[in-house]
Structure 1
């Protein structure tokens, strides 16, 4: 299986440094009868399970909320979050590689998760990833911060 890397994956430290550049406010999520603020930039992936969404965070923790993936998608930053499949939304800050295999494209994330890209969404997803990578290169070339050096 061929592996396509767009850039060196970002470390958690780099994600923390560049997150403010992408306008990602905290999300307020319903949690056991109350509300809880969660930093958007620490979300690695969202997984839809019927009327619920399972959040996967950078520290390995998970949180299930009673909101649909579609509802959550409207609350996320479209510059950083992409929906490669009807059941998943991924944070491009945690993208590790793309794996084209025959007619299937698979995304691997830095936490080890692998997500299929639907054939219908593949070309739009790849365009979004390339646009995001260009933006990272622009941020990386800024003299005040070195993002990709690790």
Structure 2
């Protein structure tokens, strides 16, 4: 049996993986679950799993942060994440696998099969993952909301707007998606060469900036006609970003 621990800060995501493992992966023994980096670290050290199903972005850090805490790891890792990376093919050459939420049961079955048959050492696998941390880029993101999961290409995000501990995503389709995570979390995820935080409550996709208006203290006119404030302390940096100077 493959002793397995799930580490994900979303209870629904853990529940989905739990159900899929029970239904489709009889070779897996789920020994524990964790809701974040610190919790995951403690349970990995106590449980000594063969496999960790690991989210990347969590409330108290990233999956990479967790991996860096483990000395001489003996387990394998399957990322179960909302982010589709350009470097995903690099993972496919090793026993490491990478599943995009919402998880496809057939892909999970295939990943577990790779883990079962892999002869690579855990330390080599984790070295590969930590190297990816330095080079990975995102092409799309999966947004979790009350309705379910929506896969969105980054180029189709016009802007983000904070709503207390929630974040509104405004898309080129005219759709608005309310995500139960703070905007600060997404600021650290979205590529900074494409997205800019103009204000405490706003992040814009620079590809969808139409005009910068000097009146009323300065604001941005976006492709969809929305107006976004630029904080006084961010104005100079934004204009340099916009003009490429």
TM-score by length of 1: 0.67
2:164 to 28, 50, 66: 50
> What is the total number of aligned residue pairs between the two structures?
110
1:62 aligns with 2:176: yes
Q: Distance in 1 between matches of 2:184 and 2:209?
A: 21
After the TM superposition, which residues 1-16 of structure 1 pair with which residues of structure 2 at under 5 Å, given as runs?
A: none
After the TM superposition, which residues 1-150 of structure 1 pair with which residues of structure 2 at under 5 Å, given as runs?
A: 24-32=138-146, 34-101=148-215, 104-131=217-244
Q: Which has the larger radius of gyration?
A: 2
Deviation at 1:31, TM superposition (A): 2.3
Q: Deviations over 1:24-79 (max 9, x none)?
A: 41112222375432111100010000000000001111000001011011111111
Aligned CA-pair RMSD:
1.9
Structure that is richer in helix per residue: 2
Higher relative contact order (CA 8 A, sep 6+): 1
Q: Distance in 1 between matches of 2:224 and 2:181?
A: 24
Q: Distance in 2 between matches of 1:52 and 1:111?
A: 22
TM-score by length of 2: 0.42
- The answer to whether the 8 A contact 1:24-1:41 is kept is no
- Which structure 1 residue ranges, 5 or more long, are not aligned? 1-19, 135-150
Partner of 1:47, secondary structure, is strand
- Which structure 2 residue ranges, 5 or more long, are not aligned? 1-85, 87-136
